[in-house]
């Protein structure tokens, strides 16, 4: 199997801006026939998790950091990014240490996979400039694209702020295989 990746990293420096706070506790795909939704809860071992649901049936789960606060969870769920078909979703939860980013994708018509893609933030920071000291960072999913042969692309943007208040951004095009596995650069 040939592995490949397409990487697009765009860097910009900007002045600081105010953050937008959203308050919603659930999210659902736009496609009514799928009726997919996301739910947070506590799973086995007392660990917090995010679960993709079809009606009352769980399809896939991904563990979340236990120290995420309710506001971060609500904001992440409210800004979840669904693909046009409503079958794939990416969610980011801003965390004090780093952003937790997860994606759920279909493997076939009956099975879904949940993937923690939080490493995309560290990779973007490495490309933006690891030599600076950043006081704040946030990574958000932007959009999905469908490619041929079952591949999907998720565009993810990382924003970091240095000690002087200067803002820097890096955008990654993360390619997923038909099995829902991300290709890292």
Domain regions of the chain by residue span: 29-183
Q: What is the β-pairing status of strands 89-93 and 27-28?
A: unpaired
Q: What is the pLDDT along the chain (185 residues), one digit of tens a residue?
A: 332 222 222 222 222 222 222 223 345 554 433 568 888 888 777 788 999 998 888 999 999 988 888 899 999 999 999 999 888 999 999 887 789 999 999 886 678 999 999 999 988 998 999 888 999 999 999 999 988 888 899 999 999 999 999 999 999 899 998 888 898 65
What is the pTM assigned to this prediction?
Answer: 0.77
62-82: per-residue pLDDT in tens?
Answer: 999 888 888 999 999 999 999
Contacts of 164 (CB under 8 A, 6+ apart): none
The DSSP annotation for 42-65 comes to E-GGG-EEEEEEETTEEEEEEE--
127-149: per-residue pLDDT in tens?
Answer: 999 888 999 999 999 999 988 88
């Amino acid at each position: 199997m040939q592995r490949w990746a397409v990487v697009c990293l765009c860097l910009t420096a900007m002045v600081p801006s105010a953050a937008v706070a959203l308050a919603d506790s659930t999210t659902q795909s736009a496609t009514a026939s799928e009726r997919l939704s996301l739910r947070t809860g506590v799973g086995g071992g007392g660990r917090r998790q995010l679960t993709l649901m079809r009606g009352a049936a769980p399809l896939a789960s991904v563990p979340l950091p236990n120290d995420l606060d309710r506001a971060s969870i609500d904001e992440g769920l409210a800004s979840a990014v669904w693909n046009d078909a409503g079958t794939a979703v990416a969610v980011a939860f801003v965390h004090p240490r780093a952003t937790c980013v997860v994606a759920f994708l279909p493997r076939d018509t009956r099975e879904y996979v949940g993937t923690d893609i939080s490493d995309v933030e560290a990779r973007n920071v490495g490309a933006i400039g690891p030599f600076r000291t950043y006081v704040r960072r946030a990574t958000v999913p932007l959009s999905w694209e469908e490619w041929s042969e079952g591949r999907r692309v998720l565009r993810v943007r990382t924003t970091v702020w240095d000690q002087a208040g200067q803002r820097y951004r890096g955008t990654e095009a993360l390619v997923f295989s038909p099995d829902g596995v991300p290709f890292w650069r």
